A and B are shown apart, each in its own frame.
Chain A
Amino acid sequence: MKKTLLASVCMAAALGLSGNALAAKTLVYCSEASPEGFNPSLYTSGTTFDASSRAMFDGLVAFERGTTQVVPGLAESWEISDDGKTYTFHLRKGVKFHTTRNFTPSRDFNADDVLYSFNRQWKKDHPDHKLSGGSYEYFNGMDMPKLLKNIYKTDDYTVVFELNQPEAPFIANMAMDFASILSAEYADTMRKAGTPEKIDLEPVGTGPFQLVNYQKDAVIRYKAHPDYWAGKAKIDRLIFSITPDAAVRYAKLKAGECHVMPYPNPADLKEMEKDPNIQLLSQEGLNVGYLAWNTTKKPLDNPKVRKALNMAINKDAIIDAIYLGAGVAAKNPIPPTMWSYNDEVKDDPYDPVLSKRMLAQEGYPDGFEIDLWAMPVQRPYNPNARRMAEMMQADLAKVGVKAKIVTYEWGEYLKRSKKGEHQSILLGWTGDNGDPDNFLYVLLSCAAADGSNRARWCYEPFDDLLIKAKRTTDIKERTRLYKQAQVIFKEQAPWFTIAHSKVFMPMSNRVVDYKIDPFGGHIFYGVDLK
């Protein structure tokens, strides 16, 4: 204890902490990388969203902190027409934008800001569409150009979105980062001043924190937005101290140089748990790791063969060895924390003997040869794909199936697998909006069979259920449909479902009321320091 105290005194001396700097409540977050930029609609990485949308912007709706539930944001309420094609949002009044060095808002947030934020991404002739490179990958990735028919305001505080077809997940999409609301007045001012690039570089939002300054690869500083509509943040300043190495982040946490760190090394978790000065929060992530069988290639086009292979792989051993206890076995394609998760589905048992017999019945008594693709990178849903592939290879060998492990550079891996060059492939998914559609439709629908559906599985009875669930906004009906879909998924076995990984967040004991975001974000509004 004495040593720690001495260390912190020396530390403070070394850092030259002045009384002033300590007086304001400052939370330091050791983030993992620099953001790509500060306009969330232009980028796709979680690191960028942490630094932009999750700190400085609001959407029409939001996810309740720590959950996937959609709650009002800048829209106080909304109505959906009976045909599910028209969404009317009633906007909140009295919402203030940030006042910055080069901009003082003359009006509160209103419908024009909503129109600006969406039209900029949607309309190619919008004056700011091409600004900052002008590629809006999330807006496009969520199929918004196909979905949107018209957006207009009926008065300053009412905005109507008309869709081309009913799309139940639309409301959850509106809570996503790309749908953050920017200030139309600020954009106008900057354009007139001849510095339109500042719209994205020195952002103005309505969010709980506002940008003070940023130095690439070093630090991002925010201060609490004094007039935040939901109440000023409990911390006065928020600092992102950019620290790419996980071991160094941990050292900084121990030395008291930061309060919260993301993405710890799995090997450090045990020590963190024992440290009295550190609290280690954990939660199941909104993700799934899977092995997809290419259902368009023989013999994997036969569901019985796929089922037999699923029974040949020892899932528990993989979870122990690869996830080091930081994962739960997956039996469905969606994680257990998501609504409509069907817990009644039974996972395929690990039974090599039965598996071998089943393969013999299907005409493969001596097994066959397949390739097994393993990702070259660590992902949240799969910490070590290469090692995992080796374990699977050994298991499959026991039932006579010779698997050859194949790997490519990450971009190449994604590209080739999208074209269906593989026979079986390790991959996974992290949810965007908490809607089951965002897993099932993106990963297993016929529409995606030539792209993100790596099993290239197109099974009509299953697909019909997904489309029906898209078309109705009745959550009970959707739940029923998705539960049924999960049963079919298990029977047809397009994937060997591996695990849902847990997210760990180590932080100082001084941090109060931090909630792990199921979407993998890091959110500091509502967090306090004692």
Chain B
Amino acid sequence: MLKFLLTRVSLVIPTFIGVTLLSFALIRLVPGDPIELLAGERGIDPARHAALRAELGLDRPLLEQYWIYIQKVLHGDLGVSIVTKTPVLQEFLTLFPATVELSLFAILLALLVGLPIGILAAVKRGSWFDYSTMGLSLVGYSMPIFWWALLLILFFSVQLGWTPVSGRISVLYWVEPVTGFMLIDSLLSDEAGAFRSALSHLILPSIALGTIPLAVIARMTRSSMLEVLSEDYIRTARAKGLAPWRVIVVHALRNALIPVITVVGLQVGVLFAGAILTETIFAWPGVGKWLIESVQRRDYPVLQGGVLLVASVVMAVNLIVDLLYGLVNPRIRR
């Protein structure tokens, strides 16, 4: 197990270098100049432009810039945003809990709904339930998030008035950020109704963000269940006269879950990608929206630091999933 752990962890190092190199190189390969963008139509006088570039270190050779950047990163310094002049790490730490909260809810929703649907569809293979849920999951998988999110808002918030349109909590509440997780913070605060408000604000964005993982999980569970259900040992279990639910949940599901866990781990990356759109639409103050803005503004430190931090989280989650996988399936450990 230790060897397995070490191999997995050692793989993180090249990935880390790759991510820093890519995020550093890509943003510099696309044309654009953060200083020009800040100045806009007004323009900026060439001497001042040069002075600002020098101040930001953008006048040095690329390799030197990268070297300085890596050294700083290793010392835990991710730099300061060109636009807001705030340290990147500080901005990330205020925004990241919002993304985590949303992603957790989305994946929870996807699991709670996707797993039972997948199991049922497999058990009732060929029934109307199977066809309709698999059809719907295909639709869910192919749906553009921004469109789906707007549709949800227009129907549930504007037409029915059941859910709030956007944000993390009603603007009338001020909840002092303690953990950064609004649900926890609102419970800790003494404002009555704040928790309920925070919960109601989570519903639509979780649905919007959770739809694609839900569809993937449902389809994956179904196909993996079907495969397992046709195995000999299932027939044996049935022949032993075990209760049908016991055969499905205890014997079949446990083995069917292995590929599903991998997929869930991979969905974390998908969730972060989806969070970019979901956060923009639902005015959700998370890192997705922050990263998009940094690209538009060519805010190099934010983009580099942000991508690195998000990538680290995705790597960490995948590492955990790999370890879990090893636990569930001992054959992998060798």
Contacts and interface: CB of A to CB of B under 8 A. Distances in A.
B192 A16 contact: yes
Given A28-B171, A239-B171, A251 B157 contact: yes
Contact of B172 (A15, A212, A218, A408): A15
B58 to A, nearest CB: 12
Interface in B162-183: 162-168, 170-174, 177
A148 interface: no
B32 A248 contact: no
Interface in B114-171: 150, 153-154, 157-168, 170-171
Interface string B36-56: 111111111100100010010
Interface residues of B, number: 63
Contacts of B33: 411-412, 415
B193 to A, nearest CB: 3
A252 B204 CA distance: 14
B266 interface: no
Contacts of B167: 218-219, 241, 243
A140 interface: yes
A465 B168 CA distance: 56
B39 A252 contact: no
Interface in A443-482: 451-452
Given A28-B171, A242-B283, A135 B289 contact: no
Contacts of B171: 28, 219, 221, 239, 241, 257
Nearest to B85: A133
Contacts of B32: 409-412
Contacts of B197: 14-16
Interface string B277-314: 00011111110011001000010000000000000000
Contact of B285 (A14, A26, A44, A215): A215
Interface in A395-413: 408-412
Interface residues on A, range: 35 or more
Interface in A1-55: 6-11, 14-18, 21, 26, 28, 33, 36-37, 42, 44
B189 interface: no
A90 B286 CA distance: 47
B166 A252 contact: yes
Nearest to A140: B48
Contacts of A18: 172, 192-193
B275 to A, nearest CB: 13
Contacts of A412: 31-33, 36
Contact of A14 (B44, B153, B159, B163): B163
Interface string A182-224: 0000000000000000000000000000001101111101000
Given A137-B39, A244-B280, A11 B161 contact: yes
Contacts of B38: 44, 137
Given A37-B84, A409-B31, A217 B289 contact: yes
Given A15-B170, A133-B85, A452-B42, A10 B95 contact: no
A10 B280 contact: no
Interface in A408-435: 408-412, 414-415, 418, 427-430
B315 interface: no
A216 B161 contact: no
B161 A218 contact: no
B193 A141 contact: no
B319 interface: no
Contacts of A7: 159-161
B326 interface: no
Given A140-B45, A244-B289, A251 B165 contact: yes
A255 B165 contact: yes
B165 A248 contact: yes
A242 B285 CA distance: 9
B43 A418 contact: yes
A240 B278 CA distance: 20
Contacts of B162: 10, 14
A248 B95 contact: no
Which of B153, B159, B164, B171 has the most CB atoms of chain A within a 10 A radius of its CB? B171
Given A248-B153, A251-B154, A427-B41, A414 B164 contact: no
Contacts of B284: 217
B196 interface: yes
A415 B200 CA distance: 47
Contacts of B42: 44, 141, 442, 452
Contacts of B172: 15, 17-18, 21, 26, 239
A245 interface: yes
B41 A14 contact: no
B94 interface: yes
B293 to A, nearest CB: 8
B194 interface: yes
A254 interface: yes
Which of A16, A140, A212, A239 has the most CB atoms of chain B within a 10 A radius of its CB? A16
A37 B85 CA distance: 8
The 8 closest A-B pairs by CB, nearest first: A16-B193, A7-B161, A217-B285, A133-B85, A411-B36, A218-B285, A15-B170, A412-B31
16 contacts: A14-B162, A14-B164, A14-B197, A17-B172, A135-B52, A137-B44, A141-B42, A213-B174, A215-B177, A217-B95, A217-B290, A218-B285, A221-B171, A241-B283, A411-B34, A411-B298
